[in-house]
């Protein structure tokens, strides 16, 4: 019987098996969501129920660095990345206790150029305080991965060369000085990216970058993420989890 094409010795190594792009959840603020025009806030109660949903399904939330390291070893199928953008002060008071309760890790993307400031980039809605340097150190000391969200939260696709370098490279240097630890991850403000911004993140020495829906730029320095909000009950999370696995094709390096 003739051998199948797959079993023929073609002189080429077999193509590596590539698993789906990792599932990374995108959060922002945890607190009162009564005035929330950008839908960036979940209540502590909702976050707790979402983390409980993960655990019931045998899933564990971890930092993006831990997630990618596990996948590089061929492991981590039960891991999902948990990310919190902007570095709101309520991360320490409201999110961190819940992460500890459900034995979850996370990555917190902060803005070293706005320490102790607020979300001035949002023209609508309430002013939300950002973490101080001490707050960031506290999160790091309690096992949270600290990543950069840029210096001041600007759209990198509209930044000139000097601004782009400062937002990407200088923010990393400041955070490493602040925490005394390497900063491996970058998160693109507003989720907007282009090839120039991705290249800047790569050249600045980051191991990975988080976007939202990077399309053809998807890769280690442009990871897609899934928005998770106040309306995401168990059945919506289930749907989002499986739609992500169906829609996101395997990508080299992930």
- Look up the pTM and report it: 0.90
**Average pLDDT score over residue span 219-238:** 95
- Whether residue 116 contacts residue 130, with contact meaning beta carbons closer than 8 Å, is answered with yes
Q: What is the phi/psi pair of residue 80, to 5°?
A: -130, 145
Give the whole-number percent of the chain exceeding pLDDT 90. Answer: 84
Query: What per-residue string of b and e applies to 53-91 under the rule 16 or more CB within 10 Å gives b?
Result: bbeeeebbbbbbbbbbbbbeeeebeebbbbbbbbbbbbb
Question: Residue 107 in 3-state DSSP?
Answer: strand
233, 234, 237, 243: CA torsion to nearest 10? -130
Q: How confident is the model at residue 249 (pLDDT cuts 50, 70, 90)?
A: low
Return left, alpha or beta for 241; rule: phi > 0 is left, psi -120 to 50 is alpha, else beta. alpha
Please tell me the predicted confidence (pLDDT) of residue 19. Answer: 62
Choice among 97-101, 141-145, 242-246 with the minimum mean pLDDT: 242-246
């Amino acid at each position: 019987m003739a051998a199948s094409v797959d079993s023929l010795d073609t002189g080429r190594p077999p193509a590596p098996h590539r698993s789906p792009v990792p599932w990374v959840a995108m959060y922002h603020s945890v607190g009162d969501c009564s005035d929330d025009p950008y839908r960036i806030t979940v209540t502590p109660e909702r976050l707790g129920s979402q983390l409980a949903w993960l655990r019931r399904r045998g899933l564990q939330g971890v930092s993006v660095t831990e997630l990618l390291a596990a996948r590089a070893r061929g492991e981590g199928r039960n891991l999902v990345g948990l990310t919190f953008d902007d570095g709101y002060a309520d991360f320490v008071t409201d999110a961190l206790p819940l992460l500890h309760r459900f034995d979850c890790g996370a990555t917190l993307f902060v803005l070293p150029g706005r320490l102790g400031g607020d979300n001035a980039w949002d023209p609508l809605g309430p002013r939300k305080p950002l973490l101080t340097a001490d707050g960031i150190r506290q999160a790091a000391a309690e096992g949270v991965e600290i990543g950069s969200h840029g210096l001041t939260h600007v759209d990198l696709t509209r930044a000139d060369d000097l601004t782009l370098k400062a937002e990407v490279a200088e923010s990393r240097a400041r955070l490493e000085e602040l925490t005394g630890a390497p900063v491996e991850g970058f998160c693109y403000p507003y989720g907007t990216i282009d090839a120039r911004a991705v290249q800047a993140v790569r050249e600045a020495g980051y191991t990975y970058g988080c976007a939202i829906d990077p399309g053809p730029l998807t890769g280690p320095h442009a990871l897609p993420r899934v928005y998770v909000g106040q309306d995401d009950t168990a059945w919506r999370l289930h749907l989002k989890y499986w739609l992500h696995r169906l829609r996101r094709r395997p990508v080299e390096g992930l």
